[in-house]
């Protein structure tokens, strides 16, 4: 009997893999159709001289000019552009996120769109990438790209980043790996990547976990794939949302008072991510404000200001007693994204803890 079950499972696996391959199969001579959605940032910036790499103006070049500045794009894909916003990404908003995510889902539902590139400022690029990683409902490639130097500077990085992001968005290898981030020859998972250096082209890293792969010439090479749930495998649906629950981050430090938590509770937040010291520690002095917040229904996620490592459940705080959610290895700004989306489904800390273990 077991033998028959094993044979049936093997046949099923082969059928599923063949179907997936067929979904992404393209006639060899057909270039992929890639949409470039522009939001702003340095990649669309302009500096006064060709040595200006700080003190330039971000978000001034429209998407069609970005595309025309890289004529080689037309050799590797059928590209067309759409301007979603024109902002420096420190000014990113829920409104832009929802507009972007809905447009990505609409476009990827079309047979004539094979992949999407999103040009974006680097300051909050990691947040947008993780948000999309949780709400995009397609296995087609979505690649977020930016640059650390404006196109007007010597050795500007944006054009090559955009060229490679477009190759990646049109590639079969990038499908089914969640939302990707491509800068500086390196391919990162939207969940793991973070900006680590204020002003250098090698700023995007995934501490301890590392990249998914790299570009060698025009070829993307993957060495691993994300394990946490993403895109079509998540429970989050933003299609009917017009805003997102308010979640703020509180930084902990020596001689903290807890007053910021009090102020946020009064402001009506639905969730607070606590960027704790060490392994996500909350100071004794903060507990009165934390408990008062929870009495108002505020959900507390324990993250860490440290930036690396796992915040262990019931490690530096009694999560079971206080109904805290341990933030796993998500940094505070990423934990905030997941908590915002979690709060569109539930305010039950146990349910939310499950989500932090799964996404």
CB of 58 to ligand DAS, least distance (A): 4
For 79, 151, 170, 276, the CA distances from 75, given in Å and listed in that order, are 10, 21, 12, 49
List 27, 39, 42, 196, catalytic entry: 42
Query: Of 225, 221, 205, whose CA–CA distance to 213 is shortest?
Result: 221
- Residue 6 burial (10 A CB sphere; 0-12, 13-18, 19+): exposed
Nearer to ligand DAS, 56 or 236 (CB): 56
CB of 67 to ligand DAS, least distance (A): 18
> DSSP string of 123-147?
SSHHHHHHHHHHH---SS-EEEE--
- Residue 310 burial (10 A CB sphere; 0-12, 13-18, 19+): middle
Nearer to ligand DAS, 120 or 336 (CB): 120
Spatial separation of the C-alpha atoms in residues 131 and 239, rounded to whole Å: 14
Nearer to ligand DAS, 150 or 258 (CB): 150
CB of 186 to ligand DAS, least distance (A): 16
Spatial separation of the C-alpha atoms in residues 165 and 142, rounded to whole Å: 9
Query: Of 31, 218, 198, 231, whose CA–CA distance to 114 is shortest?
Result: 31
Determine how many CB atoms are found less than 10 A away from the CB of residue 359. Answer: 23
Query: Which parts of this chain interact with ligand DAS (CB under 6 A)?
Result: 41-42, 58, 88-90, 121-123, 146, 148
Q: Is residue 44 a contact partner of residue 58, using CB atoms and an 8 Å limit?
A: yes
CB of 30 to ligand DAS, least distance (A): 33
Nearer to ligand DAS, 89 or 353 (CB): 89
Spatial separation of the C-alpha atoms in residues 136 and 349, rounded to whole Å: 24
| Known catalytic residue at 93 | no
CB of 206 to ligand DAS, least distance (A): 18
Which residue has the closest beta carbon to ligand DAS?
Answer: 121
Nearer to ligand DAS, 185 or 319 (CB): 185
Determine how many CB atoms are found less than 10 A away from the CB of residue 115. Answer: 27
What residues are labeled active site?
Answer: 42
């Amino acid at each position: 009997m077991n033998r028959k079950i094993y044979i049936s499972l093997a046949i099923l696996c082969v059928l599923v893999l063949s179907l997936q391959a067929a979904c992404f199969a393209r006639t060899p001579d057909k270039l992929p159709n890639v949409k470039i959605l522009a939001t702003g940032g340095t990649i669309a910036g302009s500096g006064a001289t060709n040595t200006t790499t700080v003190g330039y103006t971000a978000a001034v070049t429209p998407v069609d000019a970005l595309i025309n500045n890289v004529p080689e794009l037309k050799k590797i894909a059928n590209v067309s552009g759409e301007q979603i916003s024109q902002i420096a990404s420190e000014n990113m908003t829920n409104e832009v996120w929802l507009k972007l995510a809905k447009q990505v889902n609409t476009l990827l539902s079309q047979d004539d769109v094979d992949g999407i590139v999103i040009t974006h400022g680097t300051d909050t690029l990691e947040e947008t990438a993780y948000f999309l990683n949780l709400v995009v409902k397609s296995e087609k490639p979505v690649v977020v790209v930016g640059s650390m130097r404006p196109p007007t500077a010597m050795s500007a990085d944006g054009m090559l980043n955009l060229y490679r992001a477009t190759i990646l968005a049109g590639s079969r290898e990038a499908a089914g790996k969640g939302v990707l981030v491509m800068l500086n020859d390196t391919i990162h998972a939207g969940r793991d990547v973070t900006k680590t250096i204020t002003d250098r082209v090698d700023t995007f890293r995934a501490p301890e976990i590392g990249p998914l792969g790299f570009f060698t010439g025009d070829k993307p090479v993957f060495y691993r794939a994300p394990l946490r749930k993403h895109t079509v495998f998540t429970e989050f649906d933003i299609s009917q949302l017009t805003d997102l629950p308010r979640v703020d981050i509180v930084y902990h430090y020596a001689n903290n008072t807890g007053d910021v938590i009090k102020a946020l509770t009064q402001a009506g937040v639905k969730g607070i991510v606590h960027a704790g010291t060490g392994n996500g520690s909350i100071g004794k002095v903060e507990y009165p404000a934390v408990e008062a917040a929870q009495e108002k229904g505020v959900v507390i996620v324990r993250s860490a200001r440290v930036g690396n490592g796992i915040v262990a459940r019931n490690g530096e705080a009694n999560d079971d007693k206080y109904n805290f959610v341990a933030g796993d290895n998500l940094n505070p700004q990423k934990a905030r994204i997941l908590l915002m989306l979690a709060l569109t489904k539930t305010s039950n800390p146990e349910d939310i803890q499950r989500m932090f273990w799964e996404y």
